Structure 1
């Protein structure tokens, strides 16, 4: 996935905003909270960072092409960075970005979730 494709996918999710910060990284937010980062690589290679569940963190942290996200994971947060994977991994990346969006949105107040249209009401 290129940064252009990453930005296009993140923009397709509900109520997202995009800013360039932290040294030129593409930072995506929902309700003002970060859910995905494109960039943030010292080596210049592509890197995509996203929030994950406890289980996905334990699974992905040791998988080839994934690592605990620099800066974030070292502070005890469950963030993973995907890097150096073939384009065949794009579907997995989209899944994890969508999950990150859901996790971050679910941490917002119910009022904010309603305002943004991300609240999933149970029947």
Structure 2
């Protein structure tokens, strides 16, 4: 699994993102004020959570070292957490984080997307 620094660098590279540290020292990545990725800790190990499609939620939740994201999935949201190795190959993990970013982007109002320079 990518390191926490590598995940943060990737999230930072996506256009118009913002970053805050909250929820027990987690790196929380947002677009237009909406969370698309959370990089934090799980039992003392680095973990990353992100939004997924309904199908990806079903598939990924059954894979080793990936689970429905604590707190988020229990509230009916389709989020998963990669919490230990082997996790996902780096390219696949980045693709899922970027897909989460795109899902959030698609839900922003047209006005906000325009204000952020995303349209």
TM-score bracket for this pair, using the shorter chain length: over 0.9
**Equivalents in 2 of 1:3, 1:62: separation in Å?**
23
Structure 2 equivalent of residue 23 of structure 1: 24
Matched-pair contact (CA < 8 Å) for 1:67–1:80 = yes
User: Cα offset for 1:69?
Assistant: 0.1
Structure 1 equivalent of residue 3 of structure 2: 2
Q: Which secondary structure does the structure 1 equivalent of 2:71 belong to? A: coil
Backbone CA RMSD of aligned residues: 1.4
CA pair 87-65 structure 1, distance change in 2 beyond 3 A = closer
Q: Deviations over 1:51-103 (max 9, x none)?
A: 00111101111111210000000000000001212487111110000000000
Gaps of 5+ in 1: none
Matched-pair contact (CA < 8 Å) for 1:105–1:113 = yes
Gaps of 5+ in 2: none
Matched-pair contact (CA < 8 Å) for 2:64–2:87 = no
Structure 2 equivalent of residue 109 of structure 1: 109
**Equivalents in 2 of 1:87, 1:48: separation in Å?**
10
How many residue pairs end up in the alignment? 118
TM-score by length of 2: 0.93
**Equivalents in 2 of 1:92, 1:53: separation in Å?**
15
User: Cα offset for 1:117?
Assistant: 2.6
Q: Deviations over 1:19-70 (max 9, x none)?
A: 10000000000000000000142x0111000000111101111111210000
Matched-pair contact (CA < 8 Å) for 1:52–1:96 = yes
Q: Relative to total residues, which structure has the larger strand share, 1 or 2?
A: 2
